[in-house]
Structure formats: C-alpha cells, structure tokens
Amino acid sequence: MIISINTLKQNKIKYAYIFLVCVMAILLLSACDKKPPPPPKLPIEVSVMQIKAQDTPIDFEYVGQTESPNEVELRARVAGFLDKQVYTDGEFVSAGQIMFQMDPKPFEAKLLTAKGQLAQQQSRLEVAQATLARVIPLAAQNAVSQQTLDTVTGDEKEAQAAVIAAMGQVQVAELNLSYTTIISPISGLSRNSTPNEGAYLVVGNVLSSVSGIDPMNVNFSVSENELFSYRDNVAEGLLEAPKDSEFQVQLTLADGSIFPNIGYISFANPSFSKDTGTFLVRAVFKNTNGQLRPGQFVRAKVSGASRKNAIIVPQTAVLQGAKSHFVWVINKDNQAEQRMVEVGDWIGNDWLINDGLKAGERVVVEGAIRVKAKKPLKITELAAKAVEDDTQVQPNMAAPVLPSEKSRLNPEKSPNSNGQSTE
C-alpha cells in the first residue's frame, strides 16, 4: 500500500498535537497535587500570675470521734422487783429526773421496824436516865453501894449506845427505801433499758445509762513523726505557732456540714501508744443544741499556725519532671524558662513552694503543659491570688504543738524530722 507524503505529514502533526495535550494534562495534574504552604504557627496562649509573698495560715486535719465527757451507768443499789420504767428510751433527761421505780413496800416495812426498835431503845434510855438520877443522891449519902451506882451508870450509857445504833438502822432503812427510786444524776441522753418491768434486780444490775452531751469531747491521734516534723519547722522558723499554743479546732460532720461552734484543745496524752505510735489529743466543744452525739466520726481541722512570707502557686502551675517538680517562669523578654522548685504541702488548691521561686517573678498558671522554651507566647496576666481563710493542709502535714508540748516549741532539731510532703 502506497502512502502519500501529505498523509504522513498529517499523521505526524496529529501525533505531535496529542503528545502536547498529554504533557499539558500531566503538568496541570501535578500542579493540582501541590499543597499550599503551611500558615505560620500561632503563639501559645497562657495565663501568667506574678508571685506574691504572703502570710499563709497553716491548718492540720485529722479524723476524730466524739465522746461524752460524762457517761453514767444506772445500777440497782438494792435487791428487789422493778415496778416500772418512768422515762422513754433515748429521750433527753435532766439531772434529778426519776427513771425507774422499784417496789418500795418491803423497804417501807423495814423502815417501820427500824423506827419501832429506835422507839424501844429511846424508852430504855429514859428509864436508865431516871434510875441514874435517883441513885446519884443516894450514893452521895452512902445509902446505896458504889457497885449499885456503877451498874446504873453503865446501864444508862448502854441505853445511849443502843439508841445510836437504832438511829443508824433507821438511816439505813431510809437509804434503802430511797434507792428504790432511781434518778439520773446528770443531764443527758438516755439509752435503752436493759431489764423489763417486773424483773427481779440484784445489787449491781445495770438498768440503763445517761451520756452528757454539753460540752462534747472530740478525740483524735497525732503520730510521733508528725509532732517531730512540726517542732522542727517551728524551730527553723518555717512555721509560727499561735500565742500560748492556743489552737482552734473546727469540725466537719459526715454530711460535709460545718459544726457552728469552735473548740479548743483541752488535753494531750503525755505518752505515746505502744501499739500505734500516736498520742491522744482531746478538744472540747459547746454543744448546746445537741447536734453532736457520742460516737460520731468527724474531721477536726486544727488552726492557728502560720507561715510568714510564704510562696504559693496554683497546683496547675507545677509540673512533674524526670527528676523533680518544675514551673515555667516568664523572663523579661516574655519567654518561658523552666525552673526546678522544691514543693511543700497542698493548701487548698494551691501548692506551697519551699525553694525555687521569689516574690515578683511571673509564673505560667494556665496552659503550662503546652509551653516550650523560647517559643512565642500569648500572655494573659492574672492578679495574684490571696490565701483563702478556709484553706487547709492535707492530712499528711506535720502536727501542731499542743498545750502539753508548749515547753518544747524550740527544741534542738530532731534527726527524725522531715517537714516535706512528697507526691
């Protein structure tokens, strides 16, 4: 087959055109696949607070239990049958209120018998005194013998002694009769009655008990290590104890409510328990409305100590590094610098800083986890936070010095002290 020259030229032009179209399509597709350059990184948004040294109240919290300062058991003091229970179980009773009544009839009969014997002895005494009065003048005239006078005198003294003994028996009978009416010696809450009405009681049987509730004691325990740590902190000037070690105690009840009355430490056991290594501390509270009952578990917050010129920062500002805690400090060029710090105890939502920060420095308190050294920052300044009055140190904080420990406020430093809590 013969192909003309014109036909060949036309085919070449056609193929060249197709090739050109393909090349342009590939170039266009390649251009579409290219991503736009990334936008510039925005500065990291952080909130910064200037550190302010301030006097910080230091509180200590313990788990305590209420205890009645005066709990009395009501026991039978004579044997007999229980007639009736006068009070209602669990009610508040007043001092002198009748609670039980025993059968008084046998004791009334014994009292009458004792009174009759007393009357007999008194009659004998009157006869003896009259006989002695007649014999004395006769003996003076030697009308009767000296032996007769001695006998009559002895009879009169014997009659006197018999009257005294009979009077004692009357008093015993009156006491036994009074013991059949069982009264409460104190004001307080009564418990349920143990014996039933009609039961026979012997001497010493427990009928019930009454617990005084105003005032109310609260007991809690302080460990030996806590006491040593507190004393060392005071000796080193890290803590300042209240004047005369007059700590105040506030109670938080099981439902989270605050007991309205403030208590004061009234007793500290002078010795440590051999079993637990702690010693007992007691605080006393006015409990006029009876809100506290014996046996309740409460949280006791002991207040009064303070730390002068303390440095505190929010907990969100403190980060945990590989070796220690650290914070981000903003320098004069508004750049973040990592600063190692020695942390103390938690105070509410803040952290006490023992070393590493100074008053006037600026610290990142929000967004610290996103910060990198020398990266641009968008800083929002926050006002320095004042210490709140209701802040409290966590329970692992060292214990306060108590009244019995007042003379040890400035002891030599103990090797067992720690003074720092660890995370």
Average pLDDT over residues 328-337: 85
**Residue 175 amino acid letter:** L
Query: Mind listing the pLDDT tens digit for each residue in 219-263?
Result: 999 888 888 888 888 887 778 888 877 889 999 999 999 999 999
The H-or-E segment that residue 338 falls in is strand 336-347
Tens digit of each residue's pLDDT (9 = 90 or more) over 51-68 = 888 888 888 889 999 999
Task: Decide which of 238 and 406 is more confident.
Answer: 238
Residue 416 predicted with pLDDT over 60:
no
Asked if 299 and 64 count as a contact pair (C-beta separation under 8 A), the reply is: yes
* pLDDT: which is higher, 125 or 388: 125
For residues 327-350, give the mean pLDDT.
84
- Rounded Cα distance, 341 and 311, in Å: 11
pLDDT at 386 (0 to 100): 56
Total residue length of the chain: 423
Where residue 421 falls among pLDDT bands split at 50, 70, 90? very low
| Amino acid residing at 59 | D
Contact at 8 Å (CB) between 52 and 310?
no
Domain segments of the chain: what residues? 54-67+215-408
Express each pLDDT in 343-389 by its tens digit.
877 777 888 888 888 888 888 888 888 888 877 877 788 876 654 44
Phi then psi for 171, rounded to 5 degrees? -65, -40
Residue-level pLDDT at 395: 39
Radius of gyration of the chain (CA): 47
Residue 108, amino acid: E
Average pLDDT for 296-322: 86
Ranking 168-172, 354-358, 395-399 by mean pLDDT, the lowest is 395-399
The architecture (CATH level 2) of 54-67+215-408 comes to Beta Barrel (2.40)
Describe the chain by its helix, strand, coil percentages, rounded to 5. Answer: 30, 35, 40
Percent above pLDDT 90 for the chain: 31
Mean pLDDT, rounded, of the chain: 81
> What is the pLDDT at residue 399?
40
**Mean pLDDT, residues 154-170:** 93
For residues 119-136, give the mean pLDDT: 90
CA 223 – CA 359 distance, rounded (Å): 34
What are the structure tokens assigned to 204, written together? 């010493």
Reported for 411-419, long-range contacts at CB under 8 A and 24+ positions apart, including other chains, are 411/231, 411/235, 412/235, 413/232, 413/235, 413/236, 414/228, 414/231, 414/232, 416/224, 416/225, 416/228, 417/228, 417/229, 417/231, 417/232, 417/233, 418/225, 418/229, 419/229, 419/232, 419/233, 419/236, 419/238
107's enclosing H/E stretch is: helix 105-140
pLDDT digits (tens, 9 = 90+) for 177-213: 999 999 999 999 898 888 888 899 999 999 999 999 8
Q: What is the pLDDT of residue 5?
A: 59
Q: Which residue type occupies 360?
A: G
pLDDT at 284: 94
Provide the pLDDT for residue 393.
41
38: enclosing H helix or E strand: none
Alpha helices in 243-285 (DSSP H): none
